[in-house]
Structures are given as C-alpha cells and as structure tokens.
Amino acid sequence: MNNIIISQATLAIAILTTGVVYGTDMFYAVVMRKANALSRDNSIADQTGHTHLVADKRMAVIGITSVISTALCVVLNFQHAYMAYLSGAALLMLLAHLGLYTIVAKPINKIMSDAAVNNIVPLNIRALQNRWDSVIVHRAVLLTVAMVLLIIATMVYTK
C-alpha cells in the first residue's frame, strides 16, 4: 500500500476519533453542565454516575485510537514539515486533554459510577459535579484546537 494512502487513512482515523471525543465533551460543556445544575442531587448521582460508568468503558478505545492515530500522523509525515508540526501540535492538545481527564475527571467518574451502581447519593455530589464541570470547558477547547489542527493538516496534505 502506498505511503500516501496510509498517511491519509491515518489522518482520517485521527479526525474521526478525535471528533467523537470532541462532540461528547462539547455536548457536556454546552448542554449537560446546565442540565446538571438544574437537576436534583439524586438525579445527578444516578444518571451522571451511570453515564460515566458506560462512557469510561466505551470511550476509552476511541480516545486511545485518537491519540495513537494522531501520533502516527506525526511519524508517517515527518518528512512533510507542516503536516508533522500540525499533527504534533494536535497530539499535544490531545495529551493535555487526556491529562485533565486523568487527573480531574476520571477519579470523580469512579466515585460517581460506584455510587450509581450502589444506588447511593454521595453527600458531596454537587461538589463532585462542580469539580468535574470546572475542567470540561478546558477539555472542549483543547479538543477544538486539536480538531482545527487536524483539519488544517488535511488541507495542507492535499496541496
């Protein structure tokens, strides 16, 4: 298979998988933050806890694929400076996003998921949700920048 085809396919996979994570985080930043703020504590504990339980399992493969395919774009296009720089910058955005998720969101997801499974409403559910919400806009911005960089890389690549 031709290197150009492999490179383009890898870039397409990077854009598609990053787009899934981007759409999910944008939805939470734009819609769910406000919806959770208006919801009762037991509703947040149950629905959000179960959402995190499912999402942390299913979204992991998509997120990992996003990071790996973007990293492959850097490696496969190392001889094309603009492509390497753009995909490298996108990779940095994805890694920063992953850092925020791992440090802030994931521990909260675990607490909320466990509570939902055990049908418990944590006494600090609002504080947990507020802490989780405190990074979702930052995560969405990082993913927006990553998406823009990958899209520009596609335009540069086709020239």
Tell me: the pLDDT tens digits for 82-106? 889 999 999 999 999 999 999 999 9
**Mean pLDDT, range 14-21, rounded to an integer:** 98
141 burial level (CB within 10 Å; 0-12, 13-18, 19+): middle
CA angle 119, 123, 124 (to 5 degrees): 115
Q: CA-to-CA distance for 27 and 24, rounded, in angstroms? A: 5
User: Which range marks the domain in which residue 51 is found?
Assistant: 3-157
Question: pTM of the entire structure?
Answer: 0.93
Specify the number of domains making up the chain: 1
Q: With cut-offs at 50, 70 and 90, classify the pLDDT of residue 55.
A: very high
**Mean pLDDT over each residue of the chain, to the nearest integer:** 94
Nearest CA to 158 among 7, 17, 2? Answer: 7
> Angle at Cα 1 formed by Cα 18 and Cα 89, nearest 5°?
30
CA distance 159 to 49: 46
Contacts for 130 with CB less than 8 Å, ≥ 6 apart: none
What pLDDT is stored for residue 159 in this prediction? Answer: 53
